[in-house]
Structure 1
Amino acid sequence: MSRMYRRIIFYKKTNTFYMKKFAKIILFLFLLLFILCAAGVIYYHVVTMNAKLDESKLISVSDSTEFYDLNGKNMGSYVKNGKKTSIETIPSYTLNAFIAIEDKNFYKHNGIDYKGILRATIKDLMSFSFKEGGSTISQQLIKNTQLSGEKTIKRKLTEIRLTGKLEQKYSKKEILEYYLNTVYFGKSYYGIENAAQGYFDKKTENLTVNESAVLAAIVKSPNYYTSESNGEKLLSRRNLVLEKMFEQDYIKGYELNKLKNEKLKINYSKSSDKNSPYISLCLTELSEYCYVNPYELKNAHVYTYFEESDQKKLLAALNNSGGSYTGNGVLMKDKNHISAFYSPYPSSVCQPGSTIKPLAVYSPSLEENLINENTIINDEKTEFSGYKPKNYSNRYYGRISAKTALSKSLNIPAVKLLNSLGIDKSEKYLKRLGINLSDDEKGLSLALGGMKNGFTLTDLTSFYGIYRSGGIYYKPSAIRKVVSKSGRVLYSSNFYGRRVFSDATAYLTADMLSESVKSGTSSKLNSDKFTLYAKTGTVGSENGNTAAYSVSFTNNETLGIRLNNADNSYLPSFVTGSSAPTEAAAEFWNSYLKTSDTEIKMPGSVKEAYIDKDEYLNNGKFLLADDYAPESTKIRMLFDKKFLPTEKSPKYSSPEISDVEFYYKDSVVKIKITALKNVYSKIYRNGEEVYDTAAGNVFYDYNANTDETYIYEAVPYFFNGEKTIVGKKVVLGKIKTQKRDIA
């Protein structure tokens, strides 16, 4: 047998061996797959065998939520009797909008769109994300009404089982009606009829194509798309809904272009309840910040930071503020936990006026070492490239400190500082507070509160919390936790703080705001019983004021008061931030505070230093006072330790003569010496002491002999009560006396 033949036989045997081995592996894998599938089917039937479709939940649009205060006392209920609508009254284009964006194969599948799930999975894998959905309208209805928000395999399998039961029992028409009557649209609106009336003030049957597209856009992420700050994102998604309607032949091409060009018109601020303002605030928080399944919030228990005694004091202060205008107030403690709140319109926003000055101008300027508390600013009429701001009452103070400028809420210094700081740096710190400026807000008028919309009183008050928390911002919260009907904790308030400024900047800004209470626009809050820090603000024009603020705080609480009219009409001419709002704040603090321990403790990052008074007042320089300087020549100031002055004045440790007048006439020498206060000089004539300026700074020498040469010198000195410090000898002058004529 040849070698070649033997080799062929060997290869055949080897291939046969490997083919058999491969076949066994394939058989094993198929068997394993079969076992896994069988196990999966068995597991599916076991975990879902008790799954029952609760038909009552498919048509229920009512719920009752109980609210509890800080001590666990029931403070009220929120009962929502939702409105239902028949599918027969819903416009066809409204139905088509939801089908186009949520489930284009709704009429083709039996509840589960396997092609849709596969398509979404492939997209997720290709984009390395998990954003694509695959749930049909039938599945969404089951999730929204029958199941908890837990993300487990058991819950998903139960969803599939119940979806099958749903499809077997109800027609597509019925399923779509149930879905639209129970789906969540944000702002506590469950069901399309509630959403239509809440967002557009009309019944579902009167919705336009565009309004239908907006509602269909919202359901993907209700809390996100119904936040006023995300209006552009909602507009973009509305346009996506319209494009999907066009792709699926629900609208024509010319209709698409016309509809996409229509502006977004939606009522963001209308409240969906008529309960107490604090509960209304909680409902807003639930819809915007509590990231839980909104369907699980039905019949839940909400535990809050509400304190009845605080609420009573706040309401009393607001009621006594007088006038026909609306009083709004909020009290926050600790990490911006809201213990009291009142506002007929919890989500209404107003421009901040001068309350923005510390946040956008003074604190950033301190942080960037552009200023310290006592930096001199020239308060005078100034034009900034065509922009001509004015001080209140058109009054100007000349050279003043930054601290005084803020305490008096002067406009010119604030604009000057923002101009030097730069809008970009101010914006950097505002972003840390969650404040995003639009392009038309990025101007020097920002220093005076010139903003397009502004803030809710809750948000504005929470910003000031950074000054008592060492520069760290905490999102305001009225809710401690939310517990479902079954006892499961759905949400627990645990907002992490975000650093905005250093603790030094926070303390120094607070110190500046204490001056506002002592001698500035918040002086009506001044008390010898406790320490307060405050800022006022007034919004208006030459025609009148539309809002007035007082934001004040201690080391543990922040109080915000705003007076305005709901229709933004003018307030009485006498109402400014320093009047009625500050008076209301004063009444509150006087009834609320039971301790004098309200002062914010100075952090180690802030150091006190004594500055040379003369150099500061005359030249605006920050020189450390001489070690031997008298108390009357020093000013105590506070500095960020990083920016503490290092240069020291030598005025008293090396006393000097600042000016000398010396002349000789008619046999008399006159010497006048000028020096710092408490610095004197000993005058010497040819080395012999002849005078001490402690007796007066002018010396007349009548005792000079004729026809002699004299050298006059002086040695400056300073006596600090214990020690005499001597300066350098100075030659004052040299004379040759006249020779006397002999007759």
Structure 2
Amino acid sequence: MKRGGGGKRRLPVAIQAERWMPLLRRLRKGLLYAGGALLVLFMAAFGFLYYLRVQALPASSVSQTSQMLDLQGRVIDTFHAGENRQSVPLKQISPYLVEATLAIEDRRFYDHLGFDMKGMARAAVVNLEHLSREQGASTVTQQLARNLYLTHERTWSRKLKEAMYTIQLEMHYSKDEILSMYLNQIYYGHGAYGAEAASELYFGKHASELTLAESAMLAGIPKGPKYYSPYMDMKNAKDRQRTILQTMADQGIILQADAKAAGAQLLSFVPLGSSKQAGMAPYFRDYIRYVAVDKLGIDEHLLSEGGIRIYTTLDPEAQRAAEEAVASGIPAGSEQQAALVSIDPRTGYVKAMVGGRDYKTNQYNRVFATTRQPGSSFKPILYLTALQQGALTPVSQFKSAPTVFTYDDGRKTYAPSNYNSKYTNGLIDMRQAIASSDNIYAVNSIMKVGPQNVIDMARKLGIDSPMKPLPSLALGTFPVSPFEMASAFGTFANGGVRIEPTAILRIEDGKGEVLYEAKPAAVPVVDAAHAYVLTSLMESVFDTGGTGNRVSAMIKRPVAGKTGTTATDAWLVGYTPELATAVWVGYDKGRKLTPAEAHRAAPIFAAYTEQALAAVPPKIFPLPDGVVSVYVDPESGKLAGKTCPNRRLETFVSGTQPVEVCGAHGDAGDAAAGSDDAKREQTSSWWKQLKRWWSN
């Protein structure tokens, strides 16, 4: 019988099944293996989680008091988180602060199991877009694990431990308990740990009383207390507060109108340090914190809780003298500010620092302000350049009269003027120019030596502030900080050798092991002879006719220095063999100074210098080799004859002294370079000065 149709021949079902059997057997075997592997992985994961569940969390590190010590080994400050941490239950923390913290730190805190996978993915995308670490994705639990049990080093082993401790925290504690521990542990700056201590520090109230605006402000600080503390940078703090408020509005926690109103609210902060005495040298102590953390890399957690000891260069006697001089140098009730910094030129040690008149109300350290023009106090750097080049000597002369200078290949002009338009309208030499602070002489000098050479000298002396090679540089028109000026003048006092300023001598850990030890570099800038000649010239500032003469009676020891006055700033930067000190006075907002206000820098300098060195016998500046003294005629700048009526003993670098004798008075002169008579008169002059200072 024929099969119907012309279709394909179909195999029997049994034969078809037989062909599929090997494939089915392989598939079943694969499924068994996969299932077994999954079971093993599941059992391993379950075992690991069970191990973490039964394993006790490590004890959190016990905080120890860290100390800051002065040059005599006495404690001037302590750092200890426990001294300013007050743990409170979560219910005693304002809900605004809780919501603000979660909004900015961990919006899915109550939904994840310790790790925010969505947040990690979002951060990865943002970081990939910017090709940098723009966003992090650490949850509150991860941050708590890190703060409680680990250091902040960035290593894979630390990250692995952090992950393990995060899982354990989630297993051992409820979400509210984790959040409570976090808000009582986190650092809010200025020694305040936890919400309660922070609320008391910034607003003088309990954490439960915080408003929405205050809560948003506090919630922004832990990300970077140095940058977001309202005491350190109000603009940064306010910008971050508004970011948090907007984030809360975007997440539906608060209304947009409430966010806007809170952001516009003017907050009232408790003056920093008002809860306890600011103590000695508060600006210096802040500077030490900055150097330790930002410059030397000491971890803030270690600084606050690690029991370290920071040995500093602060001289308590000098610091007291500085604080008293500033306090008494400006009348009570005046808004005028002041800054003083004093460095031992022989060692580079920062001995005293006053960054303002009242630390409690304003923590801005004006010692490091780079917005103040030094005026004529910058001129010694110019004159040192001229002496070093050999372009000028102490008897080089220029006419003190209104002058228009041309520069830039004749395309530009510059017409400086003297203070109160006072000119001699005759020739003056460098000593006279420094004593009277003649601007015309200074600009003539910089035109001769070249402005760029002056900038190069300033850089060698440690001044890093921006400058341009213009004629006006001679008059100190480019801002520098008091710290830079004190360091530069310290080089003059130290025979031309600059020693890097040092504030921290040594840092030891809790076991006494040295974490850091200062090794300040000593760099010769100019030879000792040129530095000595400049010092001799700058002593004239305190002689009769000098701009510092009015305070000369207050200082009973040899001293050299230079005043500087602009419309808004007044300076006196000077030194003895033991101390180089810069004093600035002015207004924070650049208000113009009255004549009386401009005269306050010099008395502060004098009062400080004499009191700080009260126990130190007066010393003359050491006379180095390569210096000669000869009698000169100030009118001609030549060697003085025996009968010259105004002959003056002048100091020169050997080989630069005049050789031509003034013949105006009809004699040949006998003041040979380095003559014994000149040396004897120089020595006699020193002793006469010392006796006069002692009798005063």
TM-score (norm 1): 0.58
Partner Cα separation in structure 2 for residue 637 and residue 381 of structure 1: 29
Where 2:110 maps in the other structure, the secondary structure is: coil
Whether the aligned pair in 2 keeps the contact of 1:353 and 1:449 (CA below 8 Å) is no
Partner of 1:587: 610
Partner of 1:295: 301
Partner Cα separation in structure 2 for residue 433 and residue 636 of structure 1: 30
Whether the aligned pair in 2 keeps the contact of 1:459 and 1:476 (CA below 8 Å) is no
Matches within 5 A, 1:710-721: none
> What is the Cα deviation at residue 174 of structure 1?
3.8
Matches within 5 A, 1:551-562: 551-560=573-582
Whether the aligned pair in 1 keeps the contact of 2:325 and 2:608 (CA below 8 Å) is yes
Partner of 1:513: 538
**2:92 matched to 1:113?**
no
Matches within 5 A, 1:472-487: 472=498, 474-475=500-501, 477=503, 479-485=504-510, 487=512
**2:338 matched to 1:332?**
no
Where 1:481 maps in the other structure, the secondary structure is: strand
**2:141 matched to 1:138?**
yes
Deviations 1:33-90 (A, max 9, x none): x99xx99x99x989x9775144x97xx9xx7443434354556656743456665465
Q: 1:304 to 1:354 in 2, by over 3 A?
A: closer
Q: 1:341 to 1:110 in 2, by over 3 A?
A: same
Partner of 2:682: none
> What is the Cα deviation at residue 142 of structure 1?
3.1
Partner of 2:560: 533
Code of the residue aligned with 2:663 in structure 1: it is: K
Partner of 2:225: 222
Code of the residue aligned with 1:558 in structure 2: it is: A
Partner Cα separation in structure 2 for residue 267 and residue 599 of structure 1: 51
Partner of 1:304: 312
Q: 1:284 to 1:314 in 2, by over 3 A?
A: closer
**2:358 matched to 1:345?**
yes
Q: 1:613 to 1:123 in 2, by over 3 A?
A: farther
Partner of 2:436: 408
Where 2:281 maps in the other structure, the secondary structure is: helix
**2:87 matched to 1:81?**
no
Matches within 5 A, 1:110-509: 110-114=113-117, 116-117=119-120, 133-195=136-198, 198=201, 212-226=215-229, 241=244, 244-245=247-248, 248-250=251-253, 273-278=276-281, 281-287=284-290, 289-290=292-293, 291-299=297-305, 300=307, 301-308=309-316, 310=318, 330-333=341-344, 334-340=346-352, 345=358, 347-349=363-365, 356-357=374-375, 363=381, 372=392, 379=400, 395-398=422-425, 399-401=427-429, 403-409=431-437, 433=463, 435=465, 447=475, 461-462=486-487, 464-468=489-493, 470=496, 472=498, 474-475=500-501, 477=503, 479-485=504-510, 487=512, 492-493=517-518
Unaligned stretches of 5+ residues in structure 1 = 1-26, 542-546, 619-624, 653-675, 681-693, 695-717, 723-743
Q: 1:381 to 1:154 in 2, by over 3 A?
A: same
Q: 1:582 to 1:288 in 2, by over 3 A?
A: closer
> What is the Cα deviation at residue 357 of structure 1?
3.1
Partner of 1:686: none
Unaligned stretches of 5+ residues in structure 2 = 1-32, 406-411, 673-696
Partner Cα separation in structure 1 for residue 331 and residue 536 of structure 2: 33
Partner Cα separation in structure 1 for residue 288 and residue 511 of structure 2: 22
> What is the Cα deviation at residue 356 of structure 1?
1.5
Q: 1:280 to 1:353 in 2, by over 3 A?
A: closer
> What is the Cα deviation at residue 405 of structure 1?
3.6
Where 1:277 maps in the other structure, the secondary structure is: coil
Partner of 2:26: none
Partner Cα separation in structure 1 for residue 219 and residue 436 of structure 2: 51
> What is the Cα deviation at residue 122 of structure 1?
7.1
Deviations 1:345-393 (A, max 9, x none): 3545568999813665552686598985656565557899999998666
> What is the Cα deviation at residue 179 of structure 1?
2.8
Where 1:163 maps in the other structure, the secondary structure is: helix
Partner Cα separation in structure 2 for residue 97 and residue 370 of structure 1: 67
Matches within 5 A, 1:17-96: 51-54=57-60, 64-74=65-75, 77=78, 80-82=83-85, 87-88=90-91, 92=95, 94-96=97-99
Partner Cα separation in structure 2 for residue 558 and residue 394 of structure 1: 31
Bigger relative contact order (CA 8 A; separation at least 6)? 2
Q: 1:312 to 1:246 in 2, by over 3 A?
A: closer
Where 1:345 maps in the other structure, the secondary structure is: coil
Partner Cα separation in structure 1 for residue 466 and residue 227 of structure 2: 16
Partner Cα separation in structure 2 for residue 554 and residue 289 of structure 1: 30
Whether the aligned pair in 2 keeps the contact of 1:531 and 1:554 (CA below 8 Å) is yes
> What is the Cα deviation at residue 584 of structure 1?
1.1
Q: 1:579 to 1:275 in 2, by over 3 A?
A: closer
Code of the residue aligned with 1:70 in structure 2: it is: L
Q: 1:471 to 1:298 in 2, by over 3 A?
A: same
Deviations 1:120-146 (A, max 9, x none): 567667766567534322222333344
Partner Cα separation in structure 2 for residue 52 and residue 570 of structure 1: 62
Higher strand share: 1
Partner Cα separation in structure 2 for residue 391 and residue 277 of structure 1: 41
Code of the residue aligned with 1:345 in structure 2: it is: D
Where 1:521 maps in the other structure, the secondary structure is: coil
Q: 1:582 to 1:283 in 2, by over 3 A?
A: closer
Whether the aligned pair in 2 keeps the contact of 1:213 and 1:242 (CA below 8 Å) is yes
> What is the Cα deviation at residue 274 of structure 1?
1.6
Partner Cα separation in structure 2 for residue 282 and residue 340 of structure 1: 11
Partner Cα separation in structure 2 for residue 491 and residue 310 of structure 1: 25
Q: 1:461 to 1:114 in 2, by over 3 A?
A: farther
TM-score (norm 2): 0.61
Aligned residues: 592
Deviations 1:225-258 (A, max 9, x none): 5598866666665665566556545566778788
Deviations 1:625-666 (A, max 9, x none): 99xx9998999776899xx99xx99x89xxxxxxxxxxxxxx
Partner Cα separation in structure 2 for residue 110 and residue 631 of structure 1: 99
Structure with max Cα Rg: 1
Partner of 1:544: none
Q: 1:611 to 1:464 in 2, by over 3 A?
A: same
Code of the residue aligned with 1:593 in structure 2: it is: V
> What is the Cα deviation at residue 286 of structure 1?
1.2
Deviations 1:259-285 (A, max 9, x none): 889999989976775252136632442
